[in-house]
A and B are shown apart, each in its own frame.
Chain A
Amino acid sequence: MALSAPQTEVATLREREFTTERSFLHTTTIEQENYEFARSQRLGPNSSVDTGGRFFLGDGPLQLKDLPEKIEPIGFPVNIPWLPPNTVKLLNKSKKGPITEKELVTLMEMVAERASEHFQLDVGKFVAITFHGRVVEVSDTRVGLLKKLQSRKHPEQIFVWRIGSNAFSGRL
């Protein structure tokens, strides 16, 4: 049995095709007119005009090379706590040369205090902190922390601390 479409449907399809073609032609004409208008009014880039990679803002050119390559966020980094001036002063002193044992202990105490407040670390946790206050590792046990730290190299000097205590271990 041969399939055949009714004559009325064929007529409708032809009419749709025609409508589509006419619509496409109409749009093309409008786009061409817009392009010609923009070209005559110098509203857009023209192949015959070389801007040389410059944007014009008012009378002076704004060059891309004037813009910073990377937009830097303004403010303090979130992974390092704010350190008070006396801590920063001691930190800078330690970078220039050796500091006394008392100064080293004071520095570690101040950095550990700021870091534990900043990151809201629980009392009793064992942590490894850089001298800038960044927390490198946290553990529930001192052996657990040392085990994690011993298997890798650290680009920065770090120290270990027990939160809420004045030392990692010692006399009771």
Chain B
Amino acid sequence: MNSDPDICEDHYTQGRPIVSAKIVVVNPVTLRQTTIHKDFWIDTGFDGGIHVAQSHEADITMIGVDLLNGTIGVAGGRTDPAHRCLVYLQQIGDYELPMPGIEAELVLHGSARHGLLGLDILKHWTVKFNGPSELFKITSGSAQPKK
């Protein structure tokens, strides 16, 4: 019996485990903040935190947060320039995380419509994928091994 509380459970969307989430960027000096609410693909192949399109750059710089330069490894082994900042994940599906949320890396790169939730976020939970039924389930805590 698994007693871990459910965070989120949903069907795949177009064959992909996609979940809506709310992330907040805070300027630590002025305490101004901006919220990004969009759909994210649960991506176990991405070792970072949260990935969104470069077009969100204006949302973040308008509150006075300087984005950091850096690179990102993309599929095929290529390396692309990308921007980064610190972000708080505050809601996933209908589940609101305790304030201030989970601190994570936000990567701004590319132009994909969906964002990505990477392993640096997924390490906080247990995520189960039911491929044949096209279902996924996120629970908090560690799963108990079956006897």
A105 touches B85 (CB 8 A): no
CA distance A101 to B45 in the complex (A): 24
Given known A-B contacts A104-B81, A169-B46, A158 and B69 have beta carbons under 8 A apart: yes
Closest B-chain residue to A101, C-beta based?
Answer: B81
A159 — which chain B residues lie within 8 A by C-beta? 68-71
Across the interface, do A151 and B84 meet the contact criterion of CB distance under 8 Å? Answer: no
List chain A residues, Cβ under 8 A from B48: 142, 168-170
Stretch at the interface among B3-11, B90-98, B102-110, B137-145: B102-110
Q: Is B134 an interface residue when CB atoms closer than 8 A count as contact?
A: no
User: How big is the B interface, by class?
Assistant: 20 to 34
A160 to B72, CA, bound (A): 11
Interface of B, helix, strand, loop or mixed by DSSP: strand
- Docked Cα-Cα span, A147 to B120, in Å, equals 15
Does B80 have its Cβ within 8 Å of any Cβ on chain A? yes
- In the bound complex, residues from chain A placing their C-beta under 8 Å from that of B117 are none
Residue numbers in B under 8 Å from A168 (CB-CB) = 48, 70-72, 82, 84, 105
Q: Which residues of A contact B59 (CB under 8 A)?
A: none
Q: Cα distance A147–B71 when bound, in Å? A: 18
A157 to B68, CA, bound (A): 8
The yes or no answer to A42 lying at the interface (CB within 8 A) is no
Chain A residues within an 8 Å CB radius of B66: 153-154
In the complex, what distance in Å separates the CA atom of A2 from the CA atom of B29? 80
- With contact pairs A146-B86, A146-B105 given, residues A101 and B70 touching in the complex (Cβ less than 8 Å): no
Closest chain-A Cβ to B25's Cβ sits at a distance in Å of 9
26 A-B pairs, CB-CB below 8 angstroms? A101-B81, A104-B81, A109-B79, A143-B103, A143-B104, A146-B68, A146-B84, A146-B105, A149-B68, A151-B28, A151-B29, A153-B66, A157-B69, A159-B68, A159-B69, A160-B70, A160-B84, A166-B79, A167-B73, A168-B71, A169-B46, A169-B72, A170-B47, A170-B48, A170-B71, A170-B73
Nearest first, the 3 closest Cβ-Cβ pairs linking A and B are A170-B73, A169-B48, A159-B69
Apart from A168-B71, A168-B72, A171-B46: 11 A-B pairs, beta carbons within 8 A: A104-B81, A108-B81, A109-B71, A143-B104, A146-B84, A157-B69, A161-B71, A167-B70, A167-B72, A167-B79, A171-B45
